[in-house]
Amino acid sequence: MTTKNLLVELFVEELPPKALRRLGEAFARGIAASLESQGLIAAGAVATPFATPRRLGVHLQDVAARGADRAVEQKLVPVAIGLDASGAPTEVLLKKLAAVGAGPEFVPALRRASDGKKDTLWLDRTEAGATLADALQRAVEDTLRQLPIPKVMTYQLADGWTDVKFVRPAHGLVALHGEDVIAIGALGLDAGRATRGHRFVHPNGPEGAIAIRSADSYAEQLRTDGAVIASFDERRAAIEQGLTAKADAEGLTAVRDEALLDEVTALVELPNVLCCSFDAEFLTVPQECLILTMKQNQKYFPLLDAAGKLTNRFLLVSNIAPADPSAVIEGNERVVRPRLADAKFFFDQDRKHTLESRLPRLAKVVYHNRLGSQLQRVDRVRRIARAIGELLAARGHGEPDLAAGAERAAELAKADLSTEMVGEFPELQGVMGGYYARNDREPEAIAVAIEDHYKPRFAGDELPRNTIGLCCALADKLETLVGMFGIGSTPTGDKDPFALRRHALGVIRMLVERELPLDLDELVAIAVQAFGAGEDAVEITDPAAALGDFVFERLANAMRDENYSPQEVAAVVALRPQRLAEVRRRLAAVHAFQALPDAAALAAANKRIGNILKKSAPPAEVPVRDELLQEDAERALAAALRGVRENAEPKVAAGDYEAALAACATLRAPVDTFFEAVMVNAEDEALRHNRLALLAALHGLMNRVADLSQLA
């Protein structure tokens, strides 16, 4: 079958830049998938997406002009319903045939076969392959309907009556199979071969048309005749290369921001990287403020020196490349000055008031209508942070005055929410609090803790740098988790408006990675108590059970991501160890245990014991009585159990979980002998209870580190 390459391009008004890459990929993927399903291209055919501010396109290799014919098997009706006693077709059969586009003449050729339940009539026929025009029409329509459009726009066609819904008004459609135009239409447009180049530097003038010769000449013609790099990835690579080259020439490094790079790539068709500067006087403003305003408002790439400090140089990506770029550079330098001046003004104004003096303003800021104001929240976080600091200091983890430092940092941590700078740039909350704390001559440890108390903000983010910061960050996240769970505001499906999953993962990471000697249940209890303390107490339902389930579910997911097997993770998490700092050691011990030759048999025996105890648990707190051990096998197991307990218990207490499990592995032989020689459910009640008590003691010892039955 003869094939040619195919090009489809939709020319539109400026597309939303933050969605362009996703739209371009979805456009190419949708058309390719549809043509493949209709038999016009082979599976895995090369599809090259194109996406610029004003176009979406795709180039597909080896596209057939017509799909291959295919045999179609169509189920009709049961024989008993379709044919009467004489074998003539019934009205039901004739209507069914008409519904599938067949007439009475097909009756003699119908095939009889069972559908798995009853004898049925089947229609076998050959269906002609779809033409490229029909298949592409369907592909384009389906793809446009399914594009991930952030917000649909309604506009009118030139007739003044017809409404069209799309992301932006469309003005051109190109569909070429080799050199031939494919007659399709979409969004009120008929396909042709004409597109347009760069809006400003097109060789034929603004909006000059370009006649695309063939599907394969598209990208090159746009580049040479239209001053447009059609490929999103090529433009992005060109911008990256230009940024690196310009930064290297200055002996500096451009701030790396993947999202900004994508957005700038979506704003230009012919990227040209230029170097600009601003007045050095603005460097007295915290560099986070300047960097954010340059990136967020101007789409610039700030330049840093070798020490990571902001310089007064920045890079811009222009959409034009004039021989003399001085006008472009001067224009951008003039535009950025008011932005930086605003940041300096906010910074100077904010420093006129201390963080502590700003606290009363938080009483007017609603945190949650059922949980009170931000000031009430600050009081709760302060109490929780102090209690955590006291626990850590008492357990030798942190300086003696840790509690006072944690309380002070937590008290001031939210004060920057009422500053001008954070009002303009909410992303800087915490960061600005640290700067203003230093301005107020608070200790450096307090300032660092205020900066860090939102950490970790996302997966892979760094943890708070000091112990005071850990106390504040834990308190902040625990207050949110306990409060929201306490009023029943929990995540559902993919909806998590208060980022509770992220908060739970943050708590897990801090406890696990910093190996903090804190128990989850005691932390939750501290937070619950904080809601009932003080003059502004808030009534909540104790969320310990539901919140525990939530945290351990997140913990299991996190540990599986660290390449532990699902069985190993399930074994450890099943015990719900409250000290999360021990989880990794428990997992490592279980992993080592599984490599022992007796592990599989012991896991199976553990599961068997668990099932026995579920059905016939011994009376509570019944000890094993030696005088009731009648069989040699049960006496041997009891003796072995005592010896292993004396060996394993100190190791569990010391956190040497691997050695404890290795000691338990020696129980395999007496356990196997016990089950071979001893009837657990003896008729004598005392004897039966004693044997169940022995199994319960064995089960408890074997499962001190993890639930070994999960490994069976």
Domain check: are 220 and 248 in the same one?
no
Instruction: Report, as an integer, the average pLDDT of 465-480.
Output: 96
Which residues lie across from 190 on neighbouring strands? 185
Categorize the per-residue pLDDT at 69 as very low, low, confident or very high, splitting at 50, 70 and 90.
low
Domain check: are 291 and 368 in the same one?
no
Q: What is the CATH number of the domain that holds 661?
A: 1.10.730
Question: What end-to-end distance do the CA atoms of the chain give, in Å?
Answer: 56
Q: How do residues 216-248 score in pLDDT, each as one tens digit?
A: 999 999 999 899 999 999 999 999 999 999 999
CA dist 86 and 89 (Å) reads: 9
Domain check: are 201 and 267 in the same one?
no
Which residues lie across from 64 on neighbouring strands? 3
The percent of residues above 70 in pLDDT, for the chain, comes to: 97
CA distances (Å), origin 625, targets 461, 638, 667, 688:
56, 10, 20, 12
- Residue 380, judged by CB atoms within 10 A of its CB (0-12, 13-18, 19+), counts as buried
Categorize the per-residue pLDDT at 375 as very low, low, confident or very high, splitting at 50, 70 and 90.
very high
CA dist 312 and 614 (Å) reads: 72
Whether residue 291 lies inside any domain: the answer is yes
The percent of residues above 90 in pLDDT, for the chain, comes to: 62
Q: How many Å separate Cα 555 from the centre of its chain?
A: 16
- The structural domain count of the chain equals 5
Domain check: are 42 and 187 in the same one?
yes
β-bridge pairing 301-304 and 310-318: antiparallel
Domain check: are 49 and 176 in the same one?
yes
CA distances (Å), origin 60, targets 35, 50, 330, 368, 509:
10, 11, 43, 53, 46
> Can you read off the two tokens belonging to residue 20?
């362009």
- Residue 228, judged by CB atoms within 10 A of its CB (0-12, 13-18, 19+), counts as buried
Q: How do residues 107-125 score in pLDDT, each as one tens digit?
A: 787 888 887 788 888 877 7
What string of DSSP letters covers 144-176? Answer: HHHS--SS-EEEE-TTSS-EEEESS-EEEEEEE
Mean pLDDT of the residues in the chain: 90
- Name the residue range of residue 123's domain: 70-127
Q: What is residue 1's predicted lDDT score, i.e. its pLDDT? A: 62
Q: How do residues 380-409 score in pLDDT, each as one tens digit?
A: 999 999 999 999 999 988 788 899 999 999
- Residue 615, judged by CB atoms within 10 A of its CB (0-12, 13-18, 19+), counts as exposed
Q: How do residues 262-310 score in pLDDT, each as one tens digit?
A: 999 999 999 999 999 999 999 999 999 999 999 999 999 999 999 999 9
Only one residue has tokens 């940041």, namely 343
Whether residue 295 lies inside any domain: the answer is yes
Residue 511: is its pLDDT beyond 80?
A: yes
Residues 406 and 466: beta-carbon distance below 8 Å? no
Whether residue 170 lies inside any domain: the answer is yes
Q: Which of 102, 127, 152 is where one domain is finished?
A: 127
- 3-state DSSP assignment of residue 539: coil
Residues 527 and 479: beta-carbon distance below 8 Å? yes
Whether residue 566 lies inside any domain: the answer is no
Residue 202: is its pLDDT beyond 70?
A: no
- How does DSSP classify residue 59? E
Q: What is residue 142's predicted lDDT score, i.e. its pLDDT? A: 94
Residues 63 and 5: beta-carbon distance below 8 Å? yes
Domain check: are 587 and 504 in the same one?
no
Whether residue 573 lies inside any domain: the answer is no
Domain check: are 449 and 474 in the same one?
yes
Domain check: are 296 and 423 in the same one?
no
Q: Which of 127, 153, 168 is where one domain is finished?
A: 127
Q: Which of 318, 350, 382 is where one domain is finished?
A: 350
Q: Using the CB atoms, write b or e for 430-467: b if 16+ within 10 Å.
A: bbbbbbbbbebebeebbbbbbbbbbbbeeeeeeebebb
Categorize the per-residue pLDDT at 207 as very low, low, confident or very high, splitting at 50, 70 and 90.
low
Categorize the per-residue pLDDT at 701 as very low, low, confident or very high, splitting at 50, 70 and 90.
confident
Domain check: are 678 and 598 in the same one?
yes
* C-alpha radius of gyration, the chain, whole number: 36
CA distances (Å), origin 617, targets 114, 610, 679, 695:
54, 9, 15, 9
Q: How do residues 582-617 score in pLDDT, each as one tens digit?
A: 999 999 999 998 888 888 888 888 888 888 888 877
Candidates 407, 388, 396, 417; CA nearest to 445 is 407
Domain check: are 427 and 310 in the same one?
no
Whether residue 570 lies inside any domain: the answer is no
Domain check: are 523 and 648 in the same one?
no
Residues 167 and 143: beta-carbon distance below 8 Å? no
Domain check: are 80 and 60 in the same one?
no
Whether residue 527 lies inside any domain: the answer is yes
Whether residue 568 lies inside any domain: the answer is no
